[in-house]
Chains A and B, each alone.
Chain A
């Protein structure tokens, strides 16, 4: 502020000079698979899209509390099947090189954004790369019966049945609001793919450019309905290696870094220029076994793997004690967590026997995929893979380590390609359904679905589907606890760890908070002073 005043006092000579923009650099862990949250499922992708968009309703950062956003208010019919949203007025869309909005956000945009994901005959439904996995994994296509424009500022959504998490689903990243006008323009221009590559939203930041593996650049949107941001420029500097991220953070090349190596905790805490943020994450890191095809369609083999892996060693070596051994597919923080379930013991001998029983007396060769980037639930996929590889080797499973670029990794997994894959999940709405259904339900087991184990057990699916249809918490909890038992029995995964999530920022960063749902929220973040040189 003082600087501004001085600049103002310096008079005309400086008036025309380019003001030093406030640039906030976030050293992110990897390239997003896309910039449009509608078509991503990784938190990396969601976080990349988040600054540019708003939803009808949103979560208060750090919580799963729902507040009005582009919908100012809403009504839910007593039977829970009709949602009527009244839309905020005067909400502006971003402009870009080809598009200048001529109107404010209205009901057409709501219909455009939802219909695109829902209706297969929508002109943007078949855009290459657009599979709307999240929308489908949550069962939205079957749930929604109709989306109606009542008037320009009122939208009514009719559901096939009551769905407890529906409002929370609308707050999730994939239900962002896009510009129908932009869509029309792109159709006319014959470049529909641009809708996802060069997205236009109503969010606090507008996209400036994206260079894969290098950076995503955003600029504060001056006309944002909730006011302009304090920083001028936001950059996601894509830096997969946590050591390099830390080096950059220390050098002041970035202000916020994702997921520091747990081994660097002390270094960060000791550095007066830095601040370490940590929170027990609403997450699960796991090893998925492809249950849809051999060899891991055999439950015995899956049990063997569960017994072979020394989870403690992983927690100790990789998480450095900052995580807990997982036994269930949901984190202990989440309601309905079944404490009573007993994990498989670490027993390589028994495991080796089970491998033989499963028909592989000489062991077997397979692939173990690991993610190339740090994840909140897994700070070092490679090393975890090496540890797992070593454990598996002891029971005769010779796993070859495979990885690919992060933005491709998810697609490979969702396609069901790897027999064994390290993966994980951070809950994004605080509902058990978000784990138990999205990651393990039959809807998500289709190719492209988030159920990377491709495990579909109707008995299990019935449980989670029933749980979703009721809003009775106790009933739901019972169903989910039961589902966890089924999961344990069938063992499509080896749940590895629930981690404490770390973020590090420079001291001058104000208003950045760590989020249990893995969201990196840069709205309202400010830089207190010039970055020290």
Chain B
């Protein structure tokens, strides 16, 4: 079996077991979670239901105006319990739980429905009770109004009665005096019937007196009657005894008519007074009765309210009967009709509402009883649900614990055994392989590793090791050959480079020589011509001398010519000599370079001069700025080569054809160091080339015969031989400056002999 499989076996079995346990645990834990959530929910439901029931009791016993918050709280609790029950449904794990949840849901729904009905009935009842109060209040108002009216009426009746009383007195007066007049008249008639009429005058006087008295009683109010009476009385007074009888008869008739009217008026007035008094008494009694009805109703209202507060329907029923009686009383009493209908209505409506309220109370009581039964069932169910879920959760927890412990133990044991066996089957071949490989490392040729015929990863490994050893040997050989080839090539390259550099050096020397030759040629040519001319002059002078034709002037002329010729010769030969000296110096320096001390300025002038022939081909101007008496000790040849190369490089590459530029060589003295700058004002070096200018064979003017070694040589000389460093600064269009820093005195002191050799 392959190790992988073994390892998989070893690893896999515990993992599988662990996974198995994990899955089982996960499932079980889920179940446990459900059970626990269920238990928590069931507990919450139980508590909510208990609270809801308490709130219901609060609602039932609260004042009507304070009921709403309780109803609200009840709904809140019940709704919460319902929501929780709905959530509990899916958490139920057993049929029993599900059954119990559904059952509790039903019971709760019934309870809530009952409560809603109860609230509806209570709302109606409360409204009815409030309306009853309003009606009772209305009744009292009505009674008060009636009383106020009655009081006003009493005052009015008293005024009326007083007036009527005065009228009665007046009437009585009139009637009394009319009777007196009639008596007088009767007396007169009796007298007239007597034979002797002596008393006539006396009788007439009495009639006048009685009539006057009546007229007084009649007063201004009876002007018509008074006038009639007056006329009749005057007629009676004026009448003679013969007519007296007739006049008396008329007066008597008048008197009878007056009496008839006034007596009946008196009777009618008396009746009116009696009626008014009766009415007044009755009205006050009625008013009292009205008050009584109102008070009774109020009292009844109070008692009823108490009964209703106690929700005692039977007592309220008795009050209802009483209200019926009161309405009947109010209807039967001669209560002011103005308010009677209102009062009866108020009582009747009060009674109607009470009737409805009693029904409501009965309904409420029945509902409360029913709700209490439902509540008991509900609480029992909630509790059992709680127990059910809690028990389930506990059992499940314990079960999971057992499953995990047993599963883990089994898994661990089994895993250990398998692991041990598998480890054993791996380590032994490995150890063998190790020893083989150690042997092979000691001697690669010792032969192939024997384990390679195994079919497992160790076999693979052994086979790989064999292949590895073989391959390594081959690679090693190849590498060695390659290195040898590389070394040869490198050597050739180095040789070539050296050759090239040497060639370049020689080439520049050749150029130098050609330049110098040309330079020398001129003074030497002049000297030769001058010498020739002098020779001709001398021959002429000789001929003249020979021919005696030598004049003094001729002699003077000849002398002038001689002097001039010799000056020319001297000058030109001196110049040639200088050139040679310089060249010699440079050439020597270049060819056989030995370090020496020299004065920088003079040396620099020599170098520049030696470049004259090259530079003259161009029109560039080279200026030197160097402090005098500056002594340096270095390789003059190398330095000359560096300067030459830099200046020629500038002259050749910095300018366009035919352009005249300015090349400045600046030397600065620093303690220990020499700073040398070669600057041109040419076109500059392209930035992309700037990093490569010191590379060998890099050139932009290979077509003009440039080798690309000039600056490379400069670089090598400065950094190697002169022990300095060089850098370049250039901007396109703004010229280029090469700065060299080098020790004024090389580390290896130049031998004084070298100086002497110069």
1/0 contact trace for A491-533 toward B, CB 8 Å? Answer: 0000000000000000000000000000000000000000101
Is A292 in contact with chain B by the CB < 8 A criterion? no
Is B152 in contact with chain A by the CB < 8 A criterion? yes
Most buried by A among B272, B342, B346: B272
Given A16-B134, A313-B261; A253-B336 close (CB under 8 Å)? yes
Indicate if the CB atoms of A387 and B153 lie closer than 8 Å: no
Given A247-B160, A317-B265; A387-B341 close (CB under 8 Å)? no
Indicate if the CB atoms of A241 and B279 lie closer than 8 Å: yes
1/0 contact trace for A246-264 toward B, CB 8 Å? Answer: 0110111110000000000
The stretch of A45-53, A153-161, A214-222, A407-415 that contacts the partner chain: A214-222
* CA–CA, A313 and B258, complex, Å: 9
Given A209-B331, A217-B340, A250-B153; A382-B127 close (CB under 8 Å)? no
A473 to chain B, nearest CB (A): 42
Indicate if the CB atoms of B349 and A18 lie closer than 8 Å: yes
Indicate if the CB atoms of B268 and A253 lie closer than 8 Å: no
| Chain A residues whose CB sits within 8 angstroms of the CB of B337 once the complex forms | 23, 25, 215, 217, 235, 237, 253-254
Indicate if the CB atoms of B257 and A247 lie closer than 8 Å: no
| Chain A residues whose CB sits within 8 angstroms of the CB of B275 once the complex forms | 241, 243-244
Indicate if the CB atoms of B279 and A247 lie closer than 8 Å: yes
- Cβ-closest 8 pairs across A and B: A251-B153, A235-B337, A241-B275, A386-B264, A243-B272, A390-B260, A237-B337, A244-B279
| Chain B residues whose CB sits within 8 angstroms of the CB of A394 once the complex forms | 256
Indicate if the CB atoms of A18 and B257 lie closer than 8 Å: no
Indicate if the CB atoms of B257 and A310 lie closer than 8 Å: yes
Interfacial residues of chain B within 115-156, with CB under 8 A of chain A in the complex: 127, 130-131, 134-135, 138, 145, 148-150, 152-153, 156
Closest residue of A by beta carbon distance from B135: A18
Tell which of B131, B156, B160, B267 touches A16, judged by Cβ atoms closer than 8 Å.
B131
Is B271 in contact with chain A by the CB < 8 A criterion? yes
| Chain B residues whose CB sits within 8 angstroms of the CB of A17 once the complex forms | 131, 134, 138
* CA–CA, A390 and B257, complex, Å: 9
Most buried by B among A241, A250, A253, A391: A253
Given A243-B160, A244-B276; A21-B338 close (CB under 8 Å)? no
Is B339 in contact with chain A by the CB < 8 A criterion? yes
| Chain B residues whose CB sits within 8 angstroms of the CB of A313 once the complex forms | 257, 260-261
Is B456 in contact with chain A by the CB < 8 A criterion? no
* CA–CA, A380 and B264, complex, Å: 11
| Chain B residues whose CB sits within 8 angstroms of the CB of A391 once the complex forms | 260
| Chain A residues whose CB sits within 8 angstroms of the CB of B280 once the complex forms | 247
Interface of B (DSSP majority class) = helix
Given A252-B338, A383-B268; A317-B261 close (CB under 8 Å)? yes
Is B345 in contact with chain A by the CB < 8 A criterion? yes
B67 to chain A, nearest CB (A): 16
Is B332 in contact with chain A by the CB < 8 A criterion? yes
| Chain A residues whose CB sits within 8 angstroms of the CB of B331 once the complex forms | 209, 211
Tell which of A21, A25, A316, A317 touches B345, judged by Cβ atoms closer than 8 Å.
A21
Given A250-B156, A313-B257; A16-B264 close (CB under 8 Å)? no
Closest residue of A by beta carbon distance from B163: A267
1/0 contact trace for B346-367 toward A, CB 8 Å? Answer: 1001000000000000000000
Tell which of B263, B267, B341, B349 touches A23, judged by Cβ atoms closer than 8 Å.
B341
B165 to chain A, nearest CB (A): 13
* CA–CA, A244 and B273, complex, Å: 9
Given A18-B349, A254-B338; A248-B257 close (CB under 8 Å)? no
Is B750 in contact with chain A by the CB < 8 A criterion? no
Tell which of B135, B149, B264, B338 touches A390, judged by Cβ atoms closer than 8 Å.
B264
A198 to chain B, nearest CB (A): 14
Is B245 in contact with chain A by the CB < 8 A criterion? no
* CA–CA, A387 and B215, complex, Å: 22
Indicate if the CB atoms of B134 and A18 lie closer than 8 Å: yes
Is B157 in contact with chain A by the CB < 8 A criterion? yes
* CA–CA, A214 and B344, complex, Å: 15
Is A233 in contact with chain B by the CB < 8 A criterion? yes
| Chain A residues whose CB sits within 8 angstroms of the CB of B130 once the complex forms | 16
Interfacial residues of chain A within 165-216, with CB under 8 A of chain B in the complex: 208-209, 211, 214-215
| Chain A residues whose CB sits within 8 angstroms of the CB of B157 once the complex forms | 247
Indicate if the CB atoms of A248 and B345 lie closer than 8 Å: no
Closest residue of B by beta carbon distance from A261: B272
Contact-size category for A:
35 or more
Indicate if the CB atoms of B264 and A317 lie closer than 8 Å: yes
Closest residue of B by beta carbon distance from A385: B264
Is B696 in contact with chain A by the CB < 8 A criterion? no
Indicate if the CB atoms of A533 and B148 lie closer than 8 Å: yes
1/0 contact trace for B455-468 toward A, CB 8 Å? Answer: 00000000000000
Is A20 in contact with chain B by the CB < 8 A criterion? yes
Given A214-B334, A233-B341; A382-B279 close (CB under 8 Å)? no
Given A18-B138, A219-B341, A247-B157; A252-B149 close (CB under 8 Å)? yes
Closest residue of A by beta carbon distance from B146: A253
* CA–CA, A217 and B346, complex, Å: 15
B295 to chain A, nearest CB (A): 19
| Chain B residues whose CB sits within 8 angstroms of the CB of A16 once the complex forms | 127, 130-131, 134
* CA–CA, A252 and B147, complex, Å: 12
B282 to chain A, nearest CB (A): 9
| Chain A residues whose CB sits within 8 angstroms of the CB of B267 once the complex forms | 383, 386
B151 to chain A, nearest CB (A): 9
Indicate if the CB atoms of B268 and A382 lie closer than 8 Å: yes
* CA–CA, A208 and B164, complex, Å: 37
Interfacial residues of chain A within 43-100, with CB under 8 A of chain B in the complex: none
Interfacial residues of chain A within 95-131, with CB under 8 A of chain B in the complex: none
Indicate if the CB atoms of B264 and A387 lie closer than 8 Å: yes
- Excluding A208-B341, A219-B341, 17 further A-B contacts by CB distance (< 8 Å) are A16-B127, A18-B342, A209-B331, A247-B153, A247-B156, A247-B157, A248-B153, A251-B150, A251-B156, A252-B152, A254-B337, A254-B338, A310-B257, A317-B264, A391-B260, A533-B145, A533-B148
Indicate if the CB atoms of A235 and B340 lie closer than 8 Å: yes
1/0 contact trace for B533-570 toward A, CB 8 Å? Answer: 00000000000000000000000000000000000000
| Chain A residues whose CB sits within 8 angstroms of the CB of B150 once the complex forms | 251
* CA–CA, A16 and B131, complex, Å: 6
Given A243-B275, A247-B156; A316-B338 close (CB under 8 Å)? no
* CA–CA, A502 and B153, complex, Å: 22
* CA–CA, A493 and B595, complex, Å: 191
Indicate if the CB atoms of A247 and B149 lie closer than 8 Å: no
1/0 contact trace for B687-731 toward A, CB 8 Å? Answer: 000000000000000000000000000000000000000000000
| Chain B residues whose CB sits within 8 angstroms of the CB of A253 once the complex forms | 149, 153, 336-338
B527 to chain A, nearest CB (A): 145
* CA–CA, A214 and B331, complex, Å: 10
| Chain A residues whose CB sits within 8 angstroms of the CB of B153 once the complex forms | 247-248, 250-253
Most buried by B among A20, A250, A251, A382: A251
1/0 contact trace for A339-360 toward B, CB 8 Å? Answer: 0000000000000000000000
1/0 contact trace for A299-326 toward B, CB 8 Å? Answer: 0000000000010010011000000000
| Chain B residues whose CB sits within 8 angstroms of the CB of A252 once the complex forms | 149, 152-153, 338
| Chain A residues whose CB sits within 8 angstroms of the CB of B149 once the complex forms | 251-253, 533
B586 to chain A, nearest CB (A): 128
* CA–CA, A217 and B280, complex, Å: 22
B152 to chain A, nearest CB (A): 6
B335 to chain A, nearest CB (A): 9
B732 to chain A, nearest CB (A): 98
* CA–CA, A235 and B335, complex, Å: 12
Closest residue of B by beta carbon distance from A214: B334
A425 to chain B, nearest CB (A): 23
Indicate if the CB atoms of B279 and A533 lie closer than 8 Å: no
Closest residue of A by beta carbon distance from B153: A251
| Chain A residues whose CB sits within 8 angstroms of the CB of B135 once the complex forms | 18
* CA–CA, A217 and B265, complex, Å: 34
Interfacial residues of chain A within 386-404, with CB under 8 A of chain B in the complex: 386-387, 390-391, 394
* CA–CA, A391 and B253, complex, Å: 11
